[in-house]
Amino acid sequence: MEGAKATVCMREITKTFGSTVANNCVCLDINKGEILSLLGENGSGKTTLMNMLSGIYYPDAGQIFVNGSEVSIRSPKDAFELGIGMIHQHFKLVDVLSAAENIILGMPGNGRLDMKVVNEKILNICSLYGFDVDPKQKIYDMSVSQKQTVEIVKVLYRGADILILDEPTAVLTPQETDKLFAVLRNMRNDGKAVVIITHKLHEVEELSDRVAVLRHGQYIGEMVTKDTNAAEMTNMMVGRTVSLNIARPEPKDPKPRIVVDGLTVRDIDGVKKLSNVSFAANSGEILGIAGISGCGQRELLESIAGLQLVESGSISYIDPETGKQVELIGKDPRTISTLGVALSFVPEDRLGMGLVGNMDLTDNMMLRSFRRGKSMFADRKSPRSLAERVVNELEVVTPGITTPVRRLSGGNVQKILVGREIACAPTVLMTAYAVRGLDINSSYTIYDLLNQQKEKGVAVIYVGEDLDVLLELCDRILILCGGEVSGIVPGRGANKREVGMMMTKLGGEAGK
């Protein structure tokens, strides 16, 4: 490292979005012939920082030097010209075109396309680094890992020698990951600079030469990988436990309400999203679900809500009055509610799923209640008074109840959604990232609401990303890792570092 001259230097980079500071005075060096891991929790500002190198965002303040001279990167095109290429989590590929066509898209050159020459050049790159790409294969025929390979080749074809990969392994199987790592090592040995954004410790240990850690948009420090260890990195990544002072009443008489057994789910592409998940959510208790994003949280909640096709397993609801068991798998949300299962669900995608952005507050309140009554006309009176009540009780800032919800700020949107779901008098309340993007006060309003529900005997399931909150709010925490249950720990006295380890490795340190 000492001998290597930095090819990219970022100095005092600051980027804010509205009132949130995504990066605050971050400095980072990227060296040739080296693999750098950028480590941090969700929302720590890793991707934002790298997007400023690839031309997606423009920094508010700070300087970027490439090979010693200061540059201004305004678009992906500028980035390419500087030899910087980034592989995003969401691939930018045209499905019906072949790999080769995607690779040369938008590049200058002769009017006539000589695919033979292009294919040859692609195969050259492939054999140089050990990629396995058929230039003629169509993108829609490809697996996720093949698509990723195409993205990498696309970047190399354009002559990039600084590669940034945003959580490249999130979508790969272990075998595919090994292959990717081999390729990345080849690129390093070829003198290219490689940056991988990750929050998986074992990847950092296995692959990278150096690791830089970000937390809450701040640059925490960097280490040579072989001189550090998982414990030190976790400490840097999660920091000391912050005391939030969230109330946590003792659960009263918890009894199983939702029992999930052996749940396995695959997505449309056949990728396993949940594998043999079993747990119980109890009444009068908040069950936290922790995990890196995309580890199956969404599929788990949607399976319970009747929105997800399930491959195998069972989900039973135990009626608090009668103690009768109701199987939820294979039923749509309407059937589930007609069976008397009072299930409320605050989904992650508030305006795309939980609410209709173009409708006003009253009409959004109606989503749950419009079927009530035998009349062919929907009752608008009670949703209107409900809207008024929610606005008053939760202190929603809105011009009025006839304002389309899409015009409200994130916190107010969430209050409306949560307010509506709670108003259904649920016996099970599921929330996904309930405080994402919310300011402190709104967040505490939400925590209080969840606690109130818990005290009423509702089984609350809280999917969260902030470990500090999970540790202070939840009675028990289920940790998902790659679609499997990594462990269930009691919330009281849980160790943040330990939970962090379980998120990145099945079973945490014990599972090694």
Partner 1 sequence: MNPKVREPFVRITKRDGLASWRGWLIRLISLILALAVSAIVIYAMIKLNPLKVYAAMWEGAFGSEKRSWVTLRDTMMMLCIGVGLAPAFKMRFWNIGAEGQILIGGIATAAVLIYCGNSMPTWALLLTSFVVSSIAGAIWGVVPAFFKARFGTNETLFTLMMNYVAIQLTSYCVALWENPFGSNTVGVINQQTRAGWFPSLLGQQYMLNVILVLVLAVSMYIYLRYSKQGYEISVVGESERTARYIGISVRRVIVRTMMISGAICGLAGFLAVSGASHTISTSTAGGRGFTAIIVAWLAKFNTFVMILIAALLVFLEKGAMQIASQYNLNDFASQMITGIILFFILGSEFFINYRLVFRGKKEAK
Partner 2 sequence: MTQILSLLQAAMVFGTVILFGAIGEIMTEKSGNLNLGVPGIMYLGGIAGLAGAFWYQTNVATPNAMIGLLIALVCALVAAGLGGLIYSFLTITLRANQNVTGLTLTIFGSGVANLFGGAMNKMAGGVGQISVGITSDAFRDTLPFLSNVGVFSGLGFMVYLAIILAFLASYFLNRTRKGLNLRAVGENPATADAAGINVTRYKYLSTCIGAAISGLGGLYYVMDYIKGTWSTDGGIEKLGWLAVALVIFARWKPIQAIWGSYLFGALFWLFLYIPGLTRSSQEIFKMLPYVVTIIVLIVVSLRKNRENQPPANLGMAYFREER
Tell me if residue 290 falls in helix, strand or coil. strand
In whole angstroms, the minimum distance from the beta carbon of 103 to partner 2 comes to 10
Return the ∠ at Cα 74 (arms to 73 and 80), rounded to 5°: 60
- Binding-site member from 6, 26, 30, 93 for partner 2 (CB under 8 A): 93
- Binding-site member from 5, 58, 72, 77 for partner 2 (CB under 8 A): 77
62 binds partner 1 (CB under 8 A): no
In whole angstroms, the minimum distance from the beta carbon of 347 to partner 1 comes to 7
Distance set, CA 120 to CA 40, 117, 136, 154 (Å)? 39, 5, 11, 14
- Binding-site member from 20, 72, 189, 452 for partner 1 (CB under 8 A): 72
Cα–Cα distance, 335 to 30 (Å, whole number): 55
Q: Which does residue 368 bind out of partner 1, partner 2, none, counting CB within 5 to 8 angstroms by kind?
A: partner 1
59 binds partner 1 (CB under 8 A): no
On the CB side of 266, CA atoms within 13 Å amount to 7
Estimate to the nearest angstrom the gap between the alpha carbon of 147 and the chain centroid.
20
For partner 1, the closer of residues 378 and 510 by Cβ is: 378
55 binds partner 1 (CB under 8 A): no
Give 205: exposed, middle or buried? Use CB within 10 Å, 0-12, 13-18, 19+. Answer: middle
Do 26 and 210 touch, CB atoms closer than 8 A?
no
120 binds partner 2 (CB under 8 A): no
324 binds partner 1 (CB under 8 A): no
For partner 1, the closer of residues 18 and 174 by Cβ is: 18
Distance set, CA 248 to CA 211, 346, 477 (Å)? 37, 21, 14
Q: CA dihedral defined by 431, 434, 436, 442, rounded to 10 degrees?
A: 180
In whole angstroms, the minimum distance from the beta carbon of 142 to partner 2 comes to 12
* φ, ψ (nearest 5 deg) of residue 431: -130, 140
Q: Which helix (H) or strand (E) holds 421?
A: helix 410-423
Beta strands in 251-359 (DSSP E): 256-266, 272-282, 285-290, 312-318, 325-327, 343-346
Cα–Cα distance, 60 to 56 (Å, whole number): 13
For partner 2, the closer of residues 96 and 376 by Cβ is: 96
- Binding-site member from 120, 349, 393, 509 for partner 1 (CB under 8 A): 349
DSSP string, 216-252: TTEEEEEEEGGG--HHHHHHHHH-SPPP-----PPPP
Residue owning tokens 């014990």: 510
- Binding-site member from 121, 138, 248, 255 for partner 2 (CB under 8 A): 138
77 binds partner 1 (CB under 8 A): no
377 binds partner 1 (CB under 8 A): yes
Reading the block at residue 72, the tokens are 């201004």
Q: Which does residue 76 bind out of partner 2, partner 1, none, counting CB within 5 to 8 angstroms by kind?
A: partner 2
353 binds partner 1 (CB under 8 A): yes
18 binds partner 2 (CB under 8 A): no
In whole angstroms, the minimum distance from the beta carbon of 141 to partner 2 comes to 8
Q: Which of residues 94-113 bind partner 2 (CB under 8 A)?
A: 94-97, 101, 104-107, 109-113
Q: Which does residue 43 bind out of partner 2, partner 1, none, counting CB within 5 to 8 angstroms by kind?
A: none
Q: Which residues contact 334 (CB under 8 A, 6 or more apart)?
A: none
In whole angstroms, the minimum distance from the beta carbon of 378 to partner 1 comes to 5
For partner 1, the closer of residues 178 and 349 by Cβ is: 349
Q: What is the x/- site pattern for partner 1, positions 288-317, by CB under 8 A?
A: -----------------xxx----------
Residues in the chain: 512
Stretch that binds partner 1, among 79-87, 152-160, 321-329, 402-410 (CB under 8 A): 402-410
Q: Which residues contact 247 (CB under 8 A, 6 or more apart)?
A: 447, 448, 451
Residue 323 CB neighbours (<10 A): 8
Stretch that binds partner 1, among 111-119, 249-257, 273-281, 328-336 (CB under 8 A): 328-336
For partner 1, the closer of residues 112 and 377 by Cβ is: 377
20 binds partner 2 (CB under 8 A): no
In whole angstroms, the minimum distance from the beta carbon of 359 to partner 1 comes to 7
Reading the block at residue 423, the tokens are 């108003």
| CA neighbor of 301 nearest in space, from 47, 94, 480 | 480
Stretch that binds partner 1, among 42-50, 80-88, 346-354, 458-466 (CB under 8 A): 346-354
Q: Which of residues 451-480 bind partner 1 (CB under 8 A)?
A: none
34 binds partner 2 (CB under 8 A): no
Reading the block at residue 505, the tokens are 């490795």
- Binding-site member from 40, 43, 45, 76 for partner 2 (CB under 8 A): 76
Chain contacts with partner 1 (rule: CB under 8 A): 58, 69-72, 74, 305-307, 332-337, 345, 347, 349, 352-359, 363, 366-368, 370-371, 376-378, 380, 403-404, 407
